[in-house]
Amino acid sequence: MSLPEFAAFRANRLPAMISEAGALAGKTILVTGGSMGIGFACATACRAAGANVVLAARGAAVLAESAARLAQLKGSGYVETVAGDVGEEADVEEFFARAIARFDRCDGVIHAAGVMGPVGSITDVDSNAWLETIRINLFGTFLITRVAARHMRAAGGGRIVLFSGGGASTPFPDHTAYACSKVAVVRFTETVAKELAPLVEINCLGPGLVATRLALDAQSSAEKLRGAVSPEVGASAALFLVSDAAKGITGRFVAAQYDDYRSWKSRGVPLDDGDLFTLRRVVPRDRNLDWQ
């Protein structure tokens, strides 16, 4: 698919971005993977909502270009950049040091950085590439969350949004590294939410099959992307979850494309405990069977 064809394909799936003007006014949000794709969409949404945004990504040149684009878009907040690898602890420490040096605070984190990893049968994929995917997608999530939690606890609280993906809720053949890393992020979220409550709230977001060049390359054809959604769908959900409007929602696995997450609190859904919107094992009684 050519770039013009891809742009037209995405345009047909772009929803109107939900307006959250002022929802993040005065706040500072760190967005990893913020130079492109869903990370850039999240950064755009946060800045439009009034936040100062710190973009973190590995490629310094692309990062600078993305920051310049972001600064030209609608929004009142300032933009800072910091290059680094989410799988390297020193780099992650620098992400937060830069945010605090520039804005004196970090109120929220949207961790969108990640890689697809090797594609193919488990018998054929490169083992080093498989392990590298786990390092970035899972260990990187651990590092980002740990450093964020330390800063947020000291500051009196904060909100963290992590990203799940394909394979977290259903099998994802030929993408074992990606699938295993992303399902692990969900259970990591559920576990850490209990450790960090009540000061720090954390949720995991499944953005759906996102219409990006990365997804197109992985899926091979537009036909396989028939059910794809725009990055703005996940970005809108991430914006809600990192805002004060989501206070009280923690440890949940949120499907951006399907869940009516904005109504959960008004419906009285118990979201600080219980198994709604979490990973769990299905047992016979869940299928109305009377054994075990």
pLDDT for 168 equals 83
pLDDT for 208 equals 82
Q: In the Cβ-directed half-sphere of 60, how many Cα atoms lie within 13 Å? A: 3
pLDDT for 22 equals 84
Cross-strand partners of 286: none
**Is-cis flag, bond preceding 198, omega within 30?**
yes
pLDDT for 190 equals 96
What element of type H or E holds 42? helix 37-48
Give the whole-angstrom CA distance, residue 153 versus residue 81.
24
Task: Check residue 232 and give left, alpha or beta (phi > 0: left; psi -120 to 50: alpha).
Answer: alpha
How much is the pTM?
0.89
The residues assigned a catalytic role are 178
The per-residue pLDDT for range 253-282, each reduced to its tens digit, is 999 999 999 999 888 877 777 889 999 888
Residue ranges of domains in the chain, CATH in brackets: 24-256 (3.40.50.720)
pLDDT for 223 equals 53
Residues of the chain with pLDDT under 50: 1-19, 221
pLDDT for 103 equals 97
**What type of residue is 235?**
A
CB 208 within 8 A of CB 221: no
